[in-house]
Amino acid sequence: MEDCSRIYNERELEHMVDVKIVAQAALKVWFLSLGGLLVLGLWAWFGKWWGLYRIGLRRGGWLTVGLLCGLVLFGLLAFGTLFVWFHQIFFEAGTWVFYYSDTLIRLFPQRFWRDIFLLVGLLTAGFGLALGWGLKKEQV
């Protein structure tokens, strides 16, 4: 006999809509940042200050490595605190708290999010390393 009950309750569905809105906003910021770097790079190329631009990208890569290493370390030591802070900043109070019996928590427990956080942090730090080491110093 089939159970016709819904997989997610109303609170879970509302949170997933909120997550979609936050993720779309983050992607817009990311694309605008990439576009800004591209425009700035073209300006640097044609403005004959390409070397300074590369130095800035290299320093930004190292800054990213430093910030992400600190954030990943904090995530390893106190992910629960980081998880709560993140939700307090980006979501309305109480809309992101669920019961352990809720489908959303059973499918995506906090450990899943910790592992994803660490993976994204390490990948981002890797890209920072690529910028830091990959852009050799050159004469300005």
Name the helix (H) or strand (E) containing 91.
Answer: none
Residues 72 and 117: their CA atoms lie apart, in Å, by 8
48 torsion bin: left (phi>0), alpha (psi -120 to 50), beta (else)? left
Residues 13 and 47: their CA atoms lie apart, in Å, by 50
Tens of pLDDT, residues 3-40: 777 899 999 999 999 999 999 999 999 999 999 999 99
Work out the mean pLDDT of the chain and round it to a whole number: 92
Residue 47 is encoded by which pair of tokens?
């403005």
